[in-house]
Structure 1
Amino acid sequence: MFRFALSLILGMFALSTAQAKVIGQDVKYWVDGQEMTGYLAYDDSVTGARPGVLVVHEWWGHNPYARKRAEMLASLGYTALALDMYGTGKLADHPKDAKTFMMETMSNIAVAEKRFDAAHALLKSQPEVDGGKTAAIGYCFGGGVVLHAARTGRDLDGVISYHGSLKPMTKAEKGVIKAQVRAFNGADDPFVKPEEIAAIKQEMQDADVDFRFVNYPGAVHSFTNPDADDFAKRFKMPVGYNAAADADSWAQTRAFLRDIFAR
């Protein structure tokens, strides 16, 4: 069992209209005695329960980028929870630390699953959320996490991976996956091999999954994150922002979410 408590952060984030505001709240919850800090965002001008979307962070940890995406989802009328897969305060500022945090989490997949499930239960428990309509999106490390959630039959309407790992920890089986699945990838991403792309396409086809894979020419790893160019310079990483791929993948995300939640 886990406990959770909500604590309001300093303010509200104005949207494009005077009336509509995105409320941002820090969310403290516990999984097996470890404190986690997520971020809940919703538009206070939307009345009643609405679909909920989980946002799973990159390997750096629960950072401002994950929160930004939660706010963007809130501005579309959803309630979004940027969850925490590492634990309060575990935010890396160097790739070595990021890798350590990631490996600590994923070395025991049961622990990772429990953390994801706890956040999903927390999201569904919110009064602003229709618990029967949820999805999950993830970036890089988070992309692999949400694909695993789909492969293992988590009760989600849709899952979207952005420049995430495609390698399965558990392969999809026919009749198990409940979610429709989308994967956005940089065609020039050195971390994703052509054989991995072919494998996931075959895997999803064999499992009879509603799956679409989009490969963006010229895009590399972390193409949705404007901070990627800075990471490339500071750490000599093969990553980079691609505005066109970012814009197109977000446009497709908006359409995908509208479609799955309208059913």
Structure 2
Amino acid sequence: MVRSPYYRVNPSPWPIMISLSLLNSVFCLVAWMHREMSSNSLIFSSLFCLVSCMFMWWRDLLREGDRGYFSSYVIKGFRDGMVMFIVSEVMFFVSFFWAFFHSSLSPNVEVGGNWPPCGIRAPGVSVATLNLWLLVISGETLNYSYYSLRSKDYDYGSIIMLIVTILLGVSFLLVQFNEYVVNSFCISDGIYGSVFYLLTGFHGVHVIGGTLFLIVTAIRLWFGHFTSDRCFGFTACVWYWHFVDVVWMAVCLFVYFWGNGVLTTLLF
């Protein structure tokens, strides 16, 4: 490995391997949709190859970072890439919010001219409020862990608060799963069910990804991969988790409070 101002310190085989694994996954998914006999085993094998290549690529990046091969140009590239990734995720959720407002602001005759549609019992706001508090508190504990690391507290405050954040993220997922179990409608119950489960479901997927991100960060913190002045991996984790927090605030406000008429009742 050599110190370089470019992204790749050394030529890496993993980008092309991941691209081929993704292409193979798409082919296997199409075969599964056409009910091919061996499609299930092909999907699992392609996903295994994809995860293995991703693991090897991340392993190389961690080794390069630990050995000090990343220059300020490389770190800036990581930072810009993380910002662009979060912006793309924002646009992803904007599309679902667009569908929600398009259907709720002017409900057509197909849904009975009402929102929520006739026959749909909208979920209560108590579960959403509980999840909101869980994510808000997790954001605060993550901030405490991050600033403890920046203050060179490598043993107690940073690790303990990061573990608490992980537990809060898992608690959010358990509460969300319980809500799905007791809901009186499913994703096939018209536009309301589709928009509700797409918004909350994809947010749940992002919470799962963020929790895995936190777990990997906690493991790296335990093994001393971060210092007070070299911790961009931790910084990116904080950015992503706060993005997840803000998205749930929007979901809670518009889908649960405003979409169910609770906010209108409180204000008027």
Normalization by structure 2: what TM-score?
Answer: 0.24
More strand by share: 1
More helix by share: 2
Kindly name which structure, 1 or 2, has the bigger radius of gyration based on alpha carbons: 2
Normalization by structure 1: what TM-score?
Answer: 0.24
Q: Which has the higher contact order (CA 8 A, sep 6+)?
A: 2
